[in-house]
Structure 1
Amino acid sequence: MTLAALLTLMGLQVLIAMSPGPAGVLTIKTAAADGARAGILLSLGLAIAIVIWAVSALAGLSLLFEIAPFLQTALRIVGAAFLIWIGFTLWRHAKEPMPDVSAAAVKRPLALIRLGLWTNIANPKALAYFAAVFTGIMPADASLGWAALIILVIFAIEFTWYCTLALVFSRPAPRRAYARAKSWLDRLFGGIVMALGARIALP
């Protein structure tokens, strides 16, 4: 494993993290509605989930999916259903008032981490991405140290990006804008997440 290969992987991961998806939508919505701490807790769950997929790719889980493709199909459908449910929940509660920021982050930190975790676990296409990237970049004889460094880098990139979103959209101006248009924005966010969930369901 060379430094150039690591930098290539880092560049790819930054682009993937920044690409639009349910994780980014939920981070923006959570930060604007519940504040920075809630957004950061959600970000932690999102980053942990990506690490789980990366470790699974290194461990060869993608080979299991090739041998038994119905497992991947089942996971994809379950994940899509979860995202559609999240989107529907956002839509259904669109007219509810803005929550108390301190209560949102203090009373349910584990719930926020779990939401982030399951949101990114719901997309098994991440496994295919990591399997392809690792096959193309990592040599077969890569050491355990290199593998650990790659996992750490992936976590750092994901966590940093979503925390950045959380910090930006939890500032007073974005929160005020969100509060003024909450019902419409929550319907928009809900519709986007449901559409992305439906897209994941497709092979």
Structure 2
Amino acid sequence: MLYNYNPLGRQMVDWSAVVTVFGIYVAAVVIPGPNFIAITHKAVTGRRVDALALVAGIVTVNLFWATCAMLGLSAVFAVFPWLAVGLRLVGAAYLIWFGVWLVVSARATPSAESRSPKVPLFRGAFLQGVATNIANPKSIAFYAAVFSSAVPTHVSTPTFFAMLATVGASATCWYGVVALVLSHASIAAAYRRAKAWIDLTCGGLMIALGVRQALR
């Protein structure tokens, strides 16, 4: 889809397009994937504010990919197919690396330091959220194929920003709730009792997702 400025419709919002974007995005975002696993692990191992910072990084990248899709991401990939393949392989490599790190650290004993306020908010967790989602093959494929094909060819400027706001609000609400719920003290305590199994599971899922993407 290519976004085209329409001066005659600059005051109009195509609510049917916004509702369509909301429907397909919500259906995609609630399906667990690398973003969900990363938020889950951060929520139960770090401070709540760190989990929310990671969410902010993921939402930021979602807005970036949505903007690219509406400006013609699928067209770029059609002209340069090697770019799509390269992004997919880089993303798969990151997921495998993250999964291996979780597996290796599964036996480490969680300490109070992991929940201390030493690490600045946007230096660690936010950038981890950005890295997780920017290299997420699921996000790239979704925005390049499903999202871009569902958006009308010609939209007004208000519709453009309304669709972006829909993506941002939906991602913030869903991932924010996940982070808030899983960062509760009782859930974090349960995690510490079953750390090895949880980290091995999360790491194994990340590795499996990475390998699957690399072989597609």
Superposition TM-score, scaled by structure 2 size? 0.86
Q: CA RMSD in A?
A: 1.8
Paired letter, 1:43: V
Identity level (%)? 34
Contact 2:66 2:164 in 1 (8 A): yes
2:199 is matched with 186
1:27 is matched with 39
Residue deviations 1:130-186 (CA, integer Å, cap 9, x gap): 344455443322112211111121011112211111111111221111000101111
The question of 1:54 aligning with 2:66 is answered: yes
Once the 2 structures are TM-superposed, how far is the Cα of residue 58 of structure 1 from its aligned partner? 1.5
Higher helix share: 1
Superposition TM-score, scaled by structure 1 size? 0.91
Once the 2 structures are TM-superposed, how far is the Cα of residue 2 of structure 1 from its aligned partner? 3.0
1:69–1:132 CA distance, 2 compared to 1 (3 A): closer
For the pair shown, which has the larger CA radius of gyration, 1 or 2? 2
| Most deviating of 79-88 and 168-177 | 168-177
Paired letter, 1:87: G
2:100 is matched with 88
Gaps of 5+ in 2: 1-12
In 2, Cα distance between equivalents of 1:185 and 1:128:
28
In 2, Cα distance between equivalents of 1:64 and 1:13:
21
2:89 is matched with 77
The number of equivalent residue pairs is: 202
Pairwise mapping of residues 1-203 of structure 1 onto structure 2 (< 5 A)? 2-99=14-111, 100=113, 102-103=115-116, 106-109=118-121, 110-203=123-216
Paired letter, 2:198: L
In 1, Cα distance between equivalents of 2:25 and 2:147:
12
The runs of at least 4 aligned residues of structure 1 exceeding 6 Å deviation read none
